[in-house]
C-alpha cells in the first residue's frame, strides 16, 4: 500500500537555528516524557539504539560551541529549547553517545576539515528522519525505523533567517564568537574589559556580507577521521590571539550561512511539511544549480526495517533495488548523498570530504538488524483475532502478490506521477540525472575509502558491485510488514490512514500533518488538532490512484474492516 524505500539526502539543508547570544546556557534538557517513553522493541539493544541515534556520518553543519550559545530570533529563547517545535524527538544525555543531550538524529563529531581540525561540529544522521513517535490518550511510543515527522523546511528557514540576522549585527556576531571562545578555552584567561570594541572590527562589520556558496569547496582539504578524533576541540586555535580566534569564528559562521543561502532553490516549489522531503530535487539543484527546477516531488520519509542487504550483489541478475522508484542498488552511495546533503563538506575536484565512511556502513549494518514493530496492544488496544483471520485471506488474495519489492508502471498504480518522472530529467547539458550524479558519488566514496585507509577487502564488503543508478519511471511496492506504523500513506504521504486508502471517495483534500495522536480504528494519524495543512491540490501532492478491485477499494465494508485488522498483525 506504500511503495517505497529510503529517501536520498534525507535532509538537504543546514542544522539548528542561530540568532544571538544566550546568557550562560546549559546543555539542552529533554522533556520529562523522554525518559518515561516506551520504545518498540524491534531489533536493537539499548546500546545499538543509542549508537544509531547519534553516530556521526560526516555532517559538519555548525560548531557545537557556537550552537549552544545562541537563541532563536523567532522564539527569543535558547535555540536548543523545545526542538520538538520542528518535530525532533528529545533524548537524554549519555557520556558516550550523546554527551550534550541533543535530540535523536543530532550528532557531534571532531571536524575533519583541515582548517579547524578537531573542532566539535554538530550535524545530522539517519535517525532524525527514521525514528517515529506516536501518542494515544496520554501514552507515547517511539519506533526505531519508522518515519519521523520532522519538518526540515521549517527548521531550515528559521536557521537561515536567524543566522543571517545575527551576522548583520556586528555586536551579536561578536558576542556569539566570544561565547564560543569561552567554551573552547574554558579555564584559560579571557579578554578583560569591554569587548564591544571588537564589533567595529572590519571582519565583524562585514560578517553579514555573504554570497551563496555550496558545500562543494575548491579550497577545502581534509584530514583522516582518525587524525580528527585524536585532535583536541581547540587544537587548530592553539597559540592564536583572541582577535585572531574571533576572525576564525566569524569566517566559520559566514561559510555556513553561504551554504544555507545556496539552498534557496530548495524552497521553490511544493512545500513538503512534516515528515517529507524532495530529496532528489534538492540534490539536483544543489549539485547542478544551472539546471535547477522547481521542487515538486516531495515524498514521505520511508520506514527502514526490511531494507534489503545489497552489499553482496555481484551481478545484474540478483539486483535488489531501493527508493520509491527503485533507482539504485547502493545503500552506501545513497547514504553518502544524504551526508553531503546534510552538511558534509567536500572538494569537487579532489573529492576530499568530511564523510565518515565507516560510520555510514555501521548505520547500514544496524538498519539490517531492525524488524517490523509489533502492534502495541497495551497502548492501542488488542487486535480482534477473528477479524484478522478473515482479513488474512483478503490480504493474500488482493495485496500480497504485488507487495514483493516489485516495480509497477504509473498506468497501473495510478498514483501521483511527479516523483517517478522527475528523477531521470536531464542536467549538465542534457545528461540524465542518474548518469550525472553517479560519478560524483563514486568519487566521493573512493576518496573516503582512501583517506581513512579502508582495505580493498573491507571496501568490497561495504557495497554492491557494480553500483547502478537508473531512472525507472515506475513505483516500487514493498512488503507491508509493520505498515500500521508508517502513516501517512502512498509515496507522497497524501492519504492519512489505511481506512482512507481503502475509501478513495473519503480521502480528504486537505488534512493536518504533524499531530502524533494515533487512530487505531482507521490505522494512521488523527487528522484533527493543530499542525501543518497538507493540500492535495499542490503539484506532487495528489491522493489519486491505488484504486479498483486489485487494490481492495471495491471490497465490502466487512472485508475492509477485516483487512485493516489483519494489517495490524504483520
Closest CA to 96 of 44, 142, 47: 47
DSSP conformation letters of 420-471: HHHTT-EETTTEEHHHHHHHHHHHHHHHHHHHTT--HHHHHHHS-SS--B--
- Position 266 pLDDT exceeds 70: no
Confidence band of 236 (pLDDT split at 50, 70, 90): confident
pLDDT of residue 66: 78
Comparing 153 with 94, the larger pLDDT belongs to 94
Handedness of CA 109, 114, 119, 123 (dihedral sign): negative
Q: What 8-state DSSP symbol labels residue 269?
A: B
CA 484/CA 373 separation, integer angstroms: 9
Band the pLDDT of 338: cuts 50, 70, 90: confident
The tens digit of pLDDT for each residue in 121-139 reads: 999 999 999 999 999 999 9
Q: Is 446 left (phi over 0), alpha (psi -120 to 50) or beta?
A: alpha
> Which residues are within 8 A (CB) of 562 and not within 5 positions of it... i.e. 6 or more apart?
387, 388, 390, 391, 394
> What's residue 273's pLDDT?
95
> Which residues lie closer than 8 Å to 433 by C-beta, 6 or more apart?
280, 284, 288, 423, 424, 425, 426, 427, 471
Secondary structure (3-state) at 93? coil
Mean predicted lDDT score pLDDT of the chain: 88
The pLDDT of 333-355, averaged and rounded, is 92
User: Rounded to the nearest 5°, which phi and psi values hold at 484?
Assistant: -60, -25
58: alpha, beta or left? (left if phi > 0; alpha if psi -120 to 50):
left
Pick the range with the lowest mean pLDDT from 259-263, 422-426, 473-477: 259-263
Looking at residue 6, its pLDDT comes to: 39
Question: How many CB atoms sit inside 10 A of residue 77's CB?
Answer: 12
Residue 99, classified by CB atoms within 10 Å of its CB into exposed (0-12), middle (13-18) or buried (19+), is: middle
* pLDDT exceeds 50 at position 474: yes
* Mean pLDDT on 544-560: 97
Q: Region 146-158: what's the mean pLDDT?
A: 91
Task: State the greatest distance between any 2 C-alpha atoms of the chain, in Å, as a whole number.
Answer: 79
What's the pLDDT at 450?
A: 97
The average pLDDT across 452-458 equals: 96
Range 357-375 average pLDDT: 97
HSE toward the beta carbon, residue 550, CA cutoff 13 A: 9
**CA 174/CA 200 separation, integer angstroms:** 10
Please tell me the distance from the alpha carbon of residue 303 to that of residue 371, in angstroms, as a whole number: 11
**Contact status, residue 167 vs residue 208, Cβ threshold 8 Å:** yes
Mean pLDDT value of segment 334-341: 90
pLDDT tens, 170-185? 998 998 888 888 888 7
State the pLDDT at residue 1.
Answer: 54
Over the stretch 222-234, which tens digit does the pLDDT of each residue have? Answer: 999 999 999 988 8
Q: What whole-number distance in Å separates Cα of residue 5 and Cα of residue 477? A: 9
Greater confidence, 428 or 265? 428
Give the span between the Cα atoms of 541 and 532, in whole angstroms: 14
Question: How far is residue 334's CA from residue 441's CA, in Å, rounded to a whole number?
Answer: 8
Q: What is the mean pLDDT of residues 90-102?
A: 95
H/E stretch holding 331 reads helix 331-341
Q: How far apart are CA 258 and CA 263, in angstroms?
A: 9
What percent of the chain has pLDDT above 70?
Answer: 90
Distances (CA, A) of 566 to 144, 497, 562: 22, 15, 6
Cell numbers placing 490: 502512498
State whether the Cα torsion 392-405-547-530 is positive or negative: positive
Query: Is the model more confident about 81 or about 215?
Result: 81
Per-residue pLDDT for 8 more than 60?
no
pLDDT in tens, 10-61: 333 333 322 334 444 444 444 434 345 799 999 999 999 999 999 999 999 8
The answer to whether the CB of 84 falls within 8 A of the CB of 516 is no
What pTM was computed for the model? Answer: 0.90
The total of other beta-carbon atoms located within 10 Å of residue 412's CB is 16
State the pLDDT at residue 553: 98
Angle CA(247)–CA(252)–CA(257) in degrees, nearest 5?
Answer: 125
Of 80, 78, 99, nearest to 90 by C-alpha is 80
- Residue 7 pLDDT class (50, 70, 90 cuts): very low
C-alpha cell at 125: 544522521
pLDDT of 70 > 80? The answer is no
pLDDT at 493: 98
Q: Is the pLDDT of residue 268 over 80?
A: no
DSSP letter (8 states) at residue 322: B
Q: Which residues pair with 25 in a beta bridge?
A: none
Please state the rounded mean pLDDT for residues 526-554: 95
Q: What per-residue confidence (pLDDT) applies to 22?
A: 42
Query: How do residues 505-530 score in pLDDT, each as one tens digit?
Result: 999 999 999 999 999 999 999 998 88
534, three cell numbers: 497538507
Higher pLDDT, 180 or 149: 149
> Which three cell numbers, joined as nine digits, stand for 432?
540524465
Mean pLDDT throughout 479-507? 98
Amino acid at each position: 500500500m506504500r511503495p517505497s524505500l529510503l529517501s536520498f539526502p534525507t535532509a538537504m539543508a543546514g542544522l539548528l537555528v542561530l540568532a544571538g547570544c544566550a546568557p550562560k546556557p546549559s546543555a539542552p534538557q529533554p522533556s520529562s516524557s523522554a525518559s518515561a517513553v516506551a520504545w518498540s522493541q524491534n531489533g536493537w539493544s539499548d546500546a545499538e539504539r543509542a549508537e544509531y541515534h547519534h553516530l556521526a556520518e560526516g555532517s559538519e553543519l555548525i560548531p557545537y560551541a557556537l550552537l549552544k550559545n545562541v537563541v532563536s530570533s523567532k522564539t527569543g529563547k535558547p535555540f536548543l529549547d523545545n526542538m520538538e517545535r520542528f518535530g525532533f524527538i528529545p533524548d537524554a544525555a549519555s557520556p558516550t553517545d550523546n554527551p550534550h543531550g541533543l535530540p535523536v538524529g543530532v550528532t557531534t563529531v571532531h571536524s575533519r576539515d583541515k582548517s579547524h581540525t578537531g573542532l566539535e561540529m554538530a550535524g545530522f544522521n539517519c535517525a532524525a528522519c527514521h525514528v517515529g513517535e506516536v501518542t494515544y490518550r496520554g501514552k507515547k511510543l517511539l519506533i526505531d525505523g519508522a518515519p519521523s515527522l520532522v519538518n526540515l523546511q521549517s527548521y531550515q528557514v528559521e536557521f537561515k533567517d536567524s543566522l543571517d540576522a545575527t551576522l548583520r549585527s556586528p555586536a551579536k556576531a561578536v558576542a556569539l564568537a566570544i561565547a564560543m571562545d569561552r567554551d573552547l578555552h574554558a579555564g584559560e584567561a579571557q579578554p578583560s574589559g569591554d569587548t564591544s570594541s571588537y564589533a567595529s572590527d572590519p571582519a565583524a562589520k562585514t560578517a553579514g556580507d555573504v554570497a551563496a556558496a555550496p558545500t562543494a569547496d575548491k579550497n577545502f582539504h581534509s584530514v583522516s577521521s582518525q587524525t580528527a578524533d585524536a585532535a583536541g576541540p581547540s587544537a587548530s586555535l592553539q597559540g592564536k590571539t583572541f582577535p585572531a580566534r574571533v576572525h576564525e569564528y566569524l569566517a566559520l559562521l559566514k561559510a555556513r550561512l553561504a551554504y544555507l543561502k545556496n539552498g534557496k532553490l530548495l524552497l521553490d516549489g511544493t512545500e513538503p511539511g512534516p515528515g517529507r522531503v524532495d530529496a532528489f530535487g534538492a540534490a539536483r539543484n544543489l549539485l547542478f544549480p544551472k539546471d535547477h527546477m522547481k521542487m515538486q516531488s516531495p515524498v514521505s520519509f520511508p520506514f527502514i526495517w526490511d531494507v534489503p542487504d545489497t552489499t553482496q550483489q555481484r551481478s545484474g541478475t540478483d539486483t535488489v533495488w531501493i527508493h520509491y522508484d527503485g533507482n539504485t542498488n547502493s545503500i552506501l552511495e545513497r547514504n553518502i548523498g544524504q551526508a553531503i546533503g546534510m552538511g558534509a563538506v567536500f572538494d569537487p575536484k579532489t573529492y576530499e570530504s568530511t564523510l565518515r565512511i565507516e560510520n555510514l556502513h555501521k548505520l547500514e549494518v544496524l538498519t539490517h538488524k531492525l524488524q517490523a514493530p509489533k502492534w502495541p496492544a497495551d497502548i492501542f488496544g488488542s487486535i480482534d483475532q477473528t477479524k484478522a483471520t478473515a482479513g488474512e485471506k483478503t490480504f493474500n488474495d488482493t495485496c500480497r502478490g504485488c507487495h514483493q519489492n516489485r516495480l509497477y508502471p504509473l498506468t497501473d498504480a495510478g498514483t501521483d506521477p511527479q516523483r517517478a518522472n522527475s528523477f531521470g530529467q536531464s542536467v549538465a547539458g542534457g545528461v540524465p540525472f542518474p548518469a550525472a550524479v553517479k560519478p560524483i558519488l563514486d568519487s566521493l566514496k573512493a576518496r573516503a575509502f582512501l583517506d581513512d585507509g579502508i582495505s580493498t577487502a573491507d571496501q568490497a564488503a561495504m557495497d554492491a558491485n557494480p553500483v547502478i543508478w537508473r531512472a525507472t519511471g515506475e513505483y516500487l511496492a514493498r512488503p507491508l510488514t509493520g505498515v500500521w506504523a508508517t502513516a501517512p500513506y502512498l509515496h507522497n504521504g497524501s492519504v492519512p490512514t489505511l481506512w482512507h486508502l481503502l475509501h478513495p471517495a473519503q480521502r480528504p483534500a486537505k488534512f493536518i500533518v504533524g499531530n502524533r495522536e494515533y487512530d487505531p480504528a482507521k490505522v494512521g494519524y488523527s487528522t484533527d488538532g493543530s499542525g501543518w495543512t497538507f493540500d492535495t491540490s499542490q503539484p506532487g501532492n495528489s491522493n489519486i490512484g491505488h484504486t479498483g478491485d486489485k487494490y481492495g477499494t471495491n471490497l465490502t465494508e466487512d472485508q475492509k474492516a477485516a483487512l485493516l485488522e489483519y494489517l495490524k498483525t504483520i
